[in-house]
Each structure stands twice: as structure tokens, then as C-alpha cells.
């Protein structure tokens, strides 16, 4: 195992977050069994007092996991010099079989945790806490996801061996290779651009309609769920090529380097943020008919939708700018 401050921090954060969620899960069982807002019993009063502490702890825990995703990617990128054959985070994640699953699980925790935070914030604005059973039931689902992500991440770090010769991004993200990465790389640039802008139009239009008419929140969230993987595929199969100005360089991590003006951060951060907020709007909007939450749902979803649309607009603007300004011209596209 290679020791570094970032690795120790990531392991520590995952352990603390898992422990806090385990504590919250025990409390969640009590809430699901005994919560009765209309009761004035001593047990109910203890539950009501405790829920503030537990919600605050879980909020900080999930926020730490959100930040840990950025640190995990940054750490993988910074460690590429320690492994033979690694040119970027791709090679570091490919050192053993735990790397890519660890990243995917942390992304899943990011989205699940973000939606929980938005639900928790909404519930805290209702005088009768109408979503308290729902949000604590969701904690029981979130706990095994976080625990699995922590376990897989630990296995990844424990099995980091600097003597292993790993594969670089050029061999992994190649149409001639085998696996999911190769399949994504082989998507035709024209098809990827059509899918990216098509799904982007869907999510932008549905979001604008929701702002205007307070309708189609589910469509907005569903569009975000589709636009996210489509955007990632487009980055690998098309946008990255224009950034690198090389028709065979498909790496999704090298665009985070300073040599490419850190353009990857301008793509990934708005995309992840906008997707999380759009999913949150889809989760919050159905509760607009609850009297104690009606005003909060209207205000929160409007705010989140505006930020999400701004994030999507920034992502598609940066992607378009990367394509238009590039000196690369590929056959089969309109650039």
C-alpha cells in the first residue's frame, strides 16, 4: 500500500462517514418504528430533539463524501508518476481491479447523497416534518452504498503496487481494445455530438418549462439522468479529441491537466452539479401538495432549477467552445 496524506484522508473520511451513517441508521429504525408528530410523549420529544443532531451529522458526513470524490480524482491524477505506464489518473485507476469500481461507487454516493441533502433541507422547513420517515428510510439504503464504496476504496488502496506495470489511457480508451472504455471510445464523433446536444436540448427545455409552468419536473430529472451518461460518452468519444487536437486520444482525465487549461474542471463540475440538482428537483417536486411544504418546494425547486440550467449551459458552452476553437478537423462531422 502506498501512503500519502490524500490516501490517509480518503480512508479516514470513508471510515468516519460509514460510522456516522451506521449511528444514524440505528436512530432511523427508531424513527420508523416510533415517530408520531401528534404525540406528546417523552419518547417523541427525545426523538424530535435527537433528529436535529442526527440530521446535522449526516449532512456533514455526506458533504464530506462529496468533497472526497474530488479528492479521489485529484489523488489518482497526482499519483501517475509513481506507476510505470501511467500517464494520468486512468493508469492509476487501472493498477488493480478495484480502481474503476471505487470511482463509480463514489459517483453513485455523490448523487444519492446530494439528493438526500436536498430532501433533508426541504423536510426541515416543514413544521410537521412530513418527510422524516422517508429520509430516514433512505438512510438505510444509503448506508450499504457508502459502506460498499468505503470497502472497495480501501481494497484499491491496499492493493496499490508500484511494481505493477499499468496500462495508459491510450491503450485503455482505444477502439481496438476490449471493454466498456473501448466501446465508448468507438462511438462515432458525429453520433456522440448529436446525442449530447439532443439530450442537452431535452434537459434545458424541460427545465425551462418547469420554471415557467411548474410542470414536468419528472421529465427534467429523467432528462438529467439521460444527459449525464451521454455527456460522459461524448467527452470520451468526441470532445476530448478536439481538446487534445488528436484523433486517437480519448482520455477523460488528461483534460484536467494544466497543459489543457484545466478545461476538464469546467466540464465536469458544472455537469455533476447540474445533474445532482436536477435529480433533486425531481425528488422534491412531488411534495408540493403537502401543505407544510408547498411554499418551500416552490422556492427550493425554482432555485435549484435555475442553478442546474446555468450549470448545463456552462457545460455545453465549454464543450462547444472546445470543439469550435480546436484546430482538429475530423471526417464525418460538420466541423
Q: Using one digit for the tens of pLDDT, what is the confidence trace for 286-331? A: 999 999 999 999 999 999 999 999 999 999 999 999 999 988 776 5
Instruction: Give the Å distances, CA to CA, from 61 to 87, 215, 272.
Output: 33, 33, 19
For helices 263-284 and 294-325, the axis angle rounded to 10 degrees is 150
Does one domain contain both 147 and 192? no
Same domain, 125 and 179: no
Q: 3-state DSSP call for residue 215? A: coil
Residue where one domain finishes, among candidates 165, 194, 212? 165
Count how many domains the chain has: 2
230 with 294, same domain: the answer is yes
Question: Which has the closest alpha carbon to 279: 206, 226, 224?
Answer: 224
**Which stretches does DSSP call E strand in the chain?**
none
What the block records as the C-alpha cell of 243 is 481538446
Same-domain pairing of 210 and 294: yes
Give 89's DSSP letter: H
Q: What is the pTM of this model?
A: 0.90
**What pLDDT score was predicted for residue 91?**
76
> Do 284 and 296 meet the contact criterion of CB atoms below 8 Å apart?
no
Q: Are residues 197 and 299 in the same domain?
A: yes
Residue from 109, 278, 93, 258 nearest 199 by CA = 278
Cβ–Cβ < 8 Å for 122, 296: yes
CA 142, 144, 147, 152 dihedral sign is negative
DSSP 61-109: HHHHHHHHHHHHHHHHHHTGGGSTT--SHHHHHTSSTTHHHHHHHHHHH
Residues 90 and 24 in one domain: yes
* Co-location of 11 and 152 in the same domain: yes
Q: What is the pLDDT of residue 161?
A: 79
**Three cell numbers, residue 216:** 414536468
Give the model's pLDDT for residue 260. Answer: 80
Instruction: Classify the C-alpha dihedral 193-199-201-207 as positive or negative.
Output: negative
Instruction: Note the pLDDT of residue 168.
Output: 65
* Closest of 303, 282, 320 to residue 201, by C-alpha: 320
153 and 23 in a common domain? yes
Q: Are 178 and 88 within one domain?
A: no
Task: Tell me: do 10 and 62 sit in the same domain.
Answer: yes
| DSSP structural state of residue 182 | H
> C-alpha angle 311/315/318, rounded to 5°?
135
- How far is residue 98's CA from residue 96's CA, in Å, rounded to a whole number? 6
69 SS3 class: helix
- Domain identity same for 224 and 242: yes
Q: What is the DSSP string of 221-281?
A: HHHHHHHHHHHHHHIIIIIHHHHHT-TT---SSGGGSGGGTTHHHHHHHHHHHHHHHHHHH
Domain extent for 60: 1-165
Domain closes at, from 165, 198, 218: 165
User: 248 and 127: one domain?
Assistant: no
Report pLDDT digits (tens) over 101-149: 999 999 999 999 999 999 999 998 988 889 999 999 999 999 999 999 9
- What contacts 109, CB < 8 A, 6 or more positions away? 65, 69, 142, 145, 146, 149
Tell me the pLDDT of the chain (335 aa) as tens digits. Answer: 567 788 899 999 999 999 999 999 999 999 988 888 877 788 888 888 888 888 899 999 999 998 999 889 888 888 777 776 666 777 788 888 888 899 999 999 999 999 999 999 999 898 888 999 999 999 999 999 999 999 999 999 988 877 766 666 555 666 565 666 667 777 888 888 999 999 999 999 999 999 998 888 999 999 999 999 999 999 988 898 899 888 777 788 888 887 788 899 999 999 999 999 999 999 999 999 999 999 999 999 999 999 999 999 999 999 999 999 988 776 555 54
pLDDT at 137: 93
Amino acid at each position: 500500500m502506498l501512503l500519502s496524506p490524500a490516501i490517509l484522508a480518503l480512508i479516514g473520511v470513508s471510515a468516519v462517514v460509514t460510522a456516522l451513517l451506521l449511528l444514524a441508521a440505528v436512530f432511523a429504525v427508531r424513527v420508523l418504528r416510533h415517530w408520531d408528530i401528534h404525540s406528546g410523549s417523552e419518547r417523541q420529544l427525545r426523538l424530535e430533539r435527537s433528529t436535529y443532531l442526527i440530521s446535522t451529522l449526516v449532512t456533514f458526513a455526506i458533504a464530506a463524501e462529496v468533497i472526497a470524490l474530488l479528492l479521489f480524482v485529484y489523488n489518482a491524477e497526482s499519483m501517475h508518476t509513481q506507476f510505470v505506464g501511467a500517464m494520468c489518473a486512468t493508469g492509476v485507476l487501472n493498477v488493480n481491479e478495484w480502481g474503476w469500481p471505487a470511482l463509480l461507487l463514489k459517483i453513485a454516493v455523490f448523487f444519492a447523497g446530494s439528493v438526500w441533502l436536498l430532501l433533508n433541507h426541504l423536510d426541515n422547513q416543514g413544521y410537521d416534518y412530513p418527510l422524516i420517515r422517508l429520509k430516514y428510510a433512505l438512510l438505510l439504503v444509503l448506508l450499504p452504498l457508502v459502506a460498499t464504496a468505503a470497502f472497495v476504496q480501501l481494497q484499491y488502496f491496499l492493493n496499490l503496487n508500484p511494481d505493477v506495470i499499468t496500462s495508459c489511457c491510450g491503450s485503455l480508451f482505444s477502439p481496438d481494445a476490449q471493454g466498456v472504455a473501448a466501446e465508448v471510445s468507438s462511438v462515432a464523433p458525429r453520433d456522440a455530438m448529436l446525442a449530447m446536444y439532443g439530450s442537452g436540448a431535452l434537459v434545458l427545455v424541460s427545465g425551462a418549462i418547469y420554471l415557467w409552468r411548474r410542470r414536468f419536473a419528472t421529465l427534467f430529472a429523467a432528462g438529467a439522468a439521460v444527459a449525464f451518461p451521454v455527456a460522459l460518452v461524448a467527452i470520451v468519444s468526441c470532445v476530448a479529441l478536439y481538446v487534445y487536437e488528436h484523433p486517437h486520444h480519448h482520455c477523460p482525465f488528461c483534460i484536467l491537466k494544466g497543459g489543457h487549461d484545466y478545461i476538464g474542471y469546467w466540464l465536469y463540475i458544472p455537469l455533476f452539479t447540474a445533474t445532482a440538482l436536477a435529480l433533486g428537483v425531481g425528488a422534491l417536486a412531488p411534495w408540493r401538495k403537502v401543505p407544510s411544504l408547498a411554499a418551500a418546494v416552490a422556492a427550493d425547486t425554482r432555485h435549484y432549477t435555475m442553478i442546474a440550467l446555468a450549470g448545463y449551459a456552462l457545460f455545453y458552452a465549454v464543450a462547444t467552445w472546445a470543439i469550435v476553437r480546436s484546430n482538429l478537423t475530423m471526417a464525418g462531422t460538420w466541423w
